[in-house]
Amino acid sequence: MSVSEAVGCGGQCDDMAQFSITMSFQPVVDVIKQEIYAYEALVRGLNGEGAGQVLARVTNDNMYAFDQACRVKAIELAAHLGLKKRLNINFMPNAVYHPTACLQKTLAAAKENKFPTDLITFEFTENEQIADRAHIKNIILTYHDNGFVTAIDDFGAGFAGLSLLADFQTDIIKVDRELIINIDQNLARQAILVGILKMAQMMGLKVVCEGVETPEEYKFLKENGVQFMQGYLFAKPAFERLVLDSEINWP
């Protein structure tokens, strides 16, 4: 009996087939090297339906199956498309009942598709309320032990991001779009971002600024030392394909 069979990931239904999903991929760019650093896999319906429509079908009873289906599909499609850079996969901490058991399908998919596990970054959103911090810390440590990189997504927009970082550290902080909007014109947002950058530097963490949409936002961020960015300014998510370096819109 495997670890996953013995633990059962909280006894939730493991029927991934109930979710007919695919992925779009949005690049994360390195503005210093002017190249793509990673691609974030974003869930879509088979006919291009947005994430909102897909997520509307997720319940407490099928959350685990959905989380597993997203991981496996992202890896399968990335491998099929020949991805050689980092793959960012979103996961739901509240769907992970036993970190080691719930990684088994991820590891199996990576092995079957010959996708290097050291190129996978797992992102969890600060918007998802986490009742058990010891549990999420255990997830992060388990993922690190298995060679994965971890990131807090939507940092600054949800539940107690700073206090989470005080308890445990991911490798990457992804700053939420709400803190980036018109940052070139807003002193409060500028002060908050500078504080985040200083904190990340002291803790040895990478920072990615999300939702960059204007040349002015880009200019301010780059002038203040932000190396990694993501947003419509550079490229929109591409349905079942990888945006090429030559397709990136560099301001």
The Cα 139–Cα 137 span in angstroms is 5
The CATH H-level superfamily of 3-243 is EAL domain (3.20.20.450)
CB-hemisphere CA count at 13 Å for 241?
9
Q: Do 132 and 154 meet the contact criterion of CB atoms below 8 Å apart? A: no
Beta strand pairing call for 238-239 and 86-90: unpaired
Give mean pLDDT, residues 166-170: 85
Q: Answer whether residue 13 shows pLDDT above 90.
A: no
Integer CA distances (angstroms), 16 to 51, 234, 236, in order: 17, 33, 28
**Which tokens in the block code for residue 169?**
């550290």
* Per-residue pLDDT at 227: 98
pLDDT tens digits for 51-109? 999 999 998 889 999 999 999 999 999 999 999 999 999 988 777 878 888 899 999 99
Distance, in Å, from the CA atom of 239 to the CA atom of 160, rounded to the nearest integer, reads 33
* Mean of all residue pLDDT scores within the chain: 89
Residue 1: its pLDDT value, please? 29
Q: State the Cα–Cα distance between residues 122 and 87, nearest whole angstrom.
A: 8
Residue 166 has a pLDDT of: 82
* pLDDT at residue 128 is higher than 60: no
Mean pLDDT of 41-49: 96
Domain range list for the chain: 3-243
CA 55 to CA 63: how far, in whole Å? 10
Residue 8 pLDDT:
43
User: How does residue 214 score in pLDDT terms, banded at 50, 70 and 90?
Assistant: very high
CA distance 151 to 121: 7
